[in-house]
Structure 1
């Protein structure tokens, strides 16, 4: 396998894994009562994801530009989607551990008010010991006890669609550039519009609903268990949405080529 493909798969795994762990940040905020600090510390972890994105996109684009076999490229894209799905599942299993680690970080930051101290502590012997002690294996009851009738089905469906659009939006413009090399730069530029639409949908429909639920838990109108069930459902819908992007990838690429042709006249 081409080394560039391996780099892309590793970066994509990291990006998706961190994105999945992000669903648990509100749970940590509710547990510690410090939602703002929870998000502030998670943003440090998100820096790793942003670096991975900045590496993944040019490396993948380079691979596609020097490839002459569109079937092989499409196969690589499907592998990327499968890896994203696996990363989501792995992230789901790591959420209990991540919650404990982040909660300890939130409490430590509240006391020391120093990000650098927390980061350095994480690499110390005591920090490594704390991380080991935080390892938690998800129990089967976490899934079997879910009351599926109470899940916010519209929210989960919306989230799955947004994830599908976002996943396809990251890959389709690059594939479109291979289908129509003369429109390559225009196709890549259209990626920003697609991701912008996904971000808009996320901001309008998903984030507000989760924020309301977070406030309801803090105010006692909803139980932490109900919120935890919703988060599990969101992770599940992310995995489903990632797989749904398989059906969008090629049609979206041809639509992008069509739009690029109109733009270029």
Structure 2
């Protein structure tokens, strides 16, 4: 259980940071320094990468322990998948992985709530970077002036009230709906791809390494949609705002709705999870038994 809690917390952190990236474009448009905004975000993204490095082996070990318990119960030479105890293990795994997906939803929700505050944080961070011209110096200022940094954070980070969200929802939508819908699908697939491949490994334990490495089968369509529709559309809207062909408000609206659709995507991942696992299992069977 402790291992599962750690995985859920790390997953929430990863999705929290990946949601906060939506604050970068508005901050870049406000300051007219989009490249600097992305560069500064990469410093924060290192936290997500570290969390991912810890999460992956912990999550994999949950699967390995379930398979080991099933093998122990079934005994040598028995068909693991026909063993009643292993079927119970698969049911528990299903619940555990869905709990991990719930962690992704909670992290995304928290990130969405803090996007307005982080727009201000990034804006101030860009201004500070312009003064010191060095990320290490910026970090040094924060580390050696913790009281000043804490005061700035308290003054900057404010959780928006219900009024903010009501106003954001009531505003007329000025950005394309199509790419928002696609963002739901893309997020749903990305959220579940690795989790589905790990579960497929439990469904096909003899070749679980093959199944685990097939997450790209699920990710392929999402990658194409993201690279050809979602990201170019978001970049185009941002560039138009930088050229003052669109109001800055459009970028802020885009940031809000990308966070909302990302949240919906993590919920959609609950539906994708098991079907995607069986698709990966099927492909793993083809590779295992037809390519010798």
What is the TM-score when the length of structure 1 is the normalising length? 0.95
8 Å contact from structure 2 (residues 218, 280) kept in 1: no
8 Å contact from structure 1 (residues 152, 230) kept in 2: no
Question: In 2, Cα distance between the equivalents of 1:106 and 1:11?
Answer: 28
The answer to whether structure 1 residue 243 and structure 2 residue 267 are counterparts is yes
8 Å contact from structure 1 (residues 21, 98) kept in 2: yes
The answer to whether structure 1 residue 156 and structure 2 residue 180 are counterparts is yes
Match of 2:29 in 1: 30
Match of 1:233 in 2: 257
What secondary structure, in the 3-state scheme, does the structure 2 residue paired with 1:245 have? helix
Match of 1:106 in 2: 126
Match of 1:204 in 2: 228
8 Å contact from structure 1 (residues 88, 235) kept in 2: yes
Match of 2:148 in 1: 126
The answer to whether structure 1 residue 48 and structure 2 residue 72 are counterparts is no
8 Å contact from structure 1 (residues 173, 190) kept in 2: yes
Q: Which runs of 5+ in 1 are unaligned?
A: none
- The CA RMSD over aligned residues, in Å, is 1.5
The 5 A counterparts of 1:17-96 are 17-67=16-66, 68=70, 69-96=89-116
Question: In 1, Cα distance between the equivalents of 2:26 and 2:48?
Answer: 21
8 Å contact from structure 2 (residues 179, 230) kept in 1: yes
The answer to whether structure 1 residue 254 and structure 2 residue 274 are counterparts is no
Shift of 1:151: 4.4
Structure 1 residues 200 and 132, CA gap change in structure 2 (3 angstroms): same
Question: In 2, Cα distance between the equivalents of 1:72 and 1:133?
Answer: 45
More displaced 10-residue stretch of structure 1: 54-63 or 81-90 = 81-90
Question: In 1, Cα distance between the equivalents of 2:25 and 2:188?
Answer: 23
Question: In 1, Cα distance between the equivalents of 2:223 and 2:3?
Answer: 28
The 5 A counterparts of 1:165-204 are 165-204=189-228
Q: Which runs of 5+ in 2 are unaligned?
A: 71-88
Question: In 2, Cα distance between the equivalents of 1:26 and 1:20?
Answer: 12
Give per-residue Cα distances to partners, 1:22-77, cap 9 Å, x unaligned. Answer: 01100000011100000000011111111111111111010111114111111011
8 Å contact from structure 1 (residues 183, 257) kept in 2: no
- Number of residue equivalences: 264
Structure 1 residues 165 and 148, CA gap change in structure 2 (3 angstroms): farther
8 Å contact from structure 1 (residues 12, 80) kept in 2: yes
8 Å contact from structure 2 (residues 217, 280) kept in 1: no
Question: In 2, Cα distance between the equivalents of 1:179 and 1:220?
Answer: 54
What is the TM-score when the length of structure 2 is the normalising length? 0.86
8 Å contact from structure 1 (residues 151, 233) kept in 2: no
Shift of 1:132: 1.5
What secondary structure, in the 3-state scheme, does the structure 1 residue paired with 2:214 have? helix
Quick check: which has more Rg, 1 or 2?
A: 2
The answer to whether structure 1 residue 140 and structure 2 residue 162 are counterparts is yes
More displaced 10-residue stretch of structure 1: 136-145 or 228-237 = 136-145
Shift of 1:102: 1.5
